[in-house]
Amino acid sequence: MIRRKRREKTMSAQSLEQSHHFQLYKRYPITLVEGDGARVRDSEGREYIDALAGIAVNSLGHCHPKVVAAIREQAGKLIHASNLYYLEPQSRLAKRLTEAAGLERVFFTNSGTEAVEGALKLARRYAGKKDNKGATILSMEGCFHGRSMGSLSTHSDEQKAPFEQLLPGFEQLPFEDIDAFHRVVGEQTAAVLIEPVQGEGGVRPVSLDFLREIRTLCDETDTLLILDEIQCGVGRTGKLYAYMHAGIRPDILTTAKALGGGLPIGAVLARDEVASAFEFGDHGTTFGGNPLVCAAADAVLQVVEEEELAERAQVLGEHMRSELLDLARKHPSIKEIRGLGLMIGIQLDFGCKELVADMMKRGVLANCTKDSVVRFLPPLTITKEEIDTVIDVFDAALKAREKEMERV
Ligand SMILES: Cc1ncc(COP(=O)(O)O)c(C=O)c1O
């Protein structure tokens, strides 16, 4: 009886999508209904290991008891009140996050895109106050910073073309090309915006030396360094933020995704002097910093610290990479294994959409990015045994796909 009811629900979720939604997502044909740790179940009762974690959102796994408890408690107290008033969960989170990140000030948003948008606005305001109005913001080839008109302005010409006109004053430089940055960064540059590990761009980390050199270049030219850690932040790379591996700090940091444990939150953090370029009323939000979401995020940061999840990501990431290197020896279609901690991309020499769909049928959720990169972003709480199952399933799906392609 229960199974029948569930099946009806699946039908309706999938058919409602066809008739009512903007057609923007090419969804896999399953309806996810519940999750626990690294496991999710669909409406047919099938279980999956979630090695994607809502694209780096569920870093504590699904429904972590401490996050659920914090949400329950706050929901019974105060869900929303305006930023016209002081809010305890927001202040608590602001203190914890700024201290952990080593940056003095924070502004909370509802998403990653809005955090990037805030960072771009702050950079322009800061430049304007230095008589450098309209100065250029540089980004890097392969980047992904969001889908608003501002964040989209940092992307490639190809990505921008369907939405012209976008904002002036943006330029992209080749990936990790320090000489190009040396040539271009100068008086007319407001900021350099970089992901320490590109996510949507195919899981591409820049080297720690590159990060250090960019930091020095920005210091020498009085240019702001904005690091976008929306995907790679909150412990995923083996440190709370990836810049900590390089022993530097950005002038502005954007973070989101994993920060809310599944509730929508983003944040822009900045050095005191940079943040003070904003004056009262220059920026704001209705929902950003909402007490419910901040209570959840505060619980997330506590768990990351108490359960030493960044360290865990480092150790499990190394284990996963060494297993993948073993696989690469028997699968010539694996061209490269990239990433940091539990942010891992496997470059194949063929498109991976079908492979990822097959992995789903075999009980593992992953993702295909940049056409031929299989991306793993599992919860940092995933067990070693679960990782081994993910590897076995990847191996089996790869074998099946390679065989299929031989036949064609
Ligand atoms: C590095 C990076 N920046 C910005 C964004 C946009 O975040 P959101 O989808 O929360 O708006 C993403 C999303 O994938 C991202 O990976």
**Ligand 1 contact, 256 CB (< 6 A):** yes
Task: Print the domain residue range for 279.
Answer: 65-306
SS3 (DSSP) at 118: helix
Residues 278 and 353 in one domain: no
Is 350 annotated as catalytic? Answer: no
Burial environment of residue 256 by CB neighbours within 10 A (0 to 12, 13 to 18, 19 or more): buried
Which of 42, 108, 210, 228 is catalytic? The answer is: 228
Is 395 annotated as catalytic? Answer: no
| pLDDT, tens only, 215-270 | 999 999 999 999 999 999 999 999 999 999 999 999 999 999 999 999 999 999 99
- Give me the CATH number covering residue 300: 3.40.640.10
pLDDT over threshold 90, residue 72:
yes
Interior CA angle at 367 toward 366 and 368, to 5°? 140
Residues 73 and 46 in one domain: no
Distance 113 CA to ligand 1 centre (A): 6
C-beta separation of 250 from 213 below 8 A? no
Residue 288 lies in a domain: yes
Burial environment of residue 373 by CB neighbours within 10 A (0 to 12, 13 to 18, 19 or more): buried
Residues 270 and 358 in one domain: no
pLDDT over threshold 60, residue 183:
yes
pLDDT over threshold 70, residue 402:
yes
Domain stops at, among 306, 335, 351: 306
d(CA 108, CA 114): 9
Q: Model's pTM, two decimal places? A: 0.96
d(CA 394, CA 363): 10
Is 144 annotated as catalytic? Answer: yes
* Centroid of chain to Cα 46: 27
Burial environment of residue 367 by CB neighbours within 10 A (0 to 12, 13 to 18, 19 or more): middle
- Please give the tally of structural domains in the chain: 2
Residues 217 and 129 in one domain: yes
Distance 256 CA to ligand 1 centre (A): 8
Distance 109 CA to ligand 1 centre (A): 12
| pLDDT, tens only, 371-381 | 999 999 999 99
Residue 281, number of CB atoms within 10 A of its CB: 6
Residue 259 DSSP code = G
Q: Which two tokens stand for residue 90?
A: 């927001």
pLDDT over threshold 60, residue 9:
no
Residue with tokens 């990431």: 317
| Confidence class for position 84, pLDDT limits 50, 70, 90 | very high
The pLDDT of 396-400, averaged and rounded, is 97
Kindly state the percentage of the chain with pLDDT values over 90: 93
Residue 157 DSSP code = H
Q: Which stretches does DSSP call E strand in 242-333? A: 252-255, 266-270
SS3 (DSSP) at 41: strand
Whole-number pLDDT of residue 283: 98
Domain stops at, among 291, 306, 321: 306
Residues 278 and 328 in one domain: no
Going by C-alpha positions, the residue among 271, 326, 267, 270 that lies closest to residue 293 is: 267
Give the type of residue at 27: R
Domain stops at, among 249, 280, 306: 306
Residues 192 and 217 in one domain: yes
d(CA 130, CA 261): 38
Residues 172 and 273 in one domain: yes
Ramachandran angles phi, psi of 398, nearest 5°: -65, -45
Residues 264 and 274 in one domain: yes
Residues 288 and 143 in one domain: yes
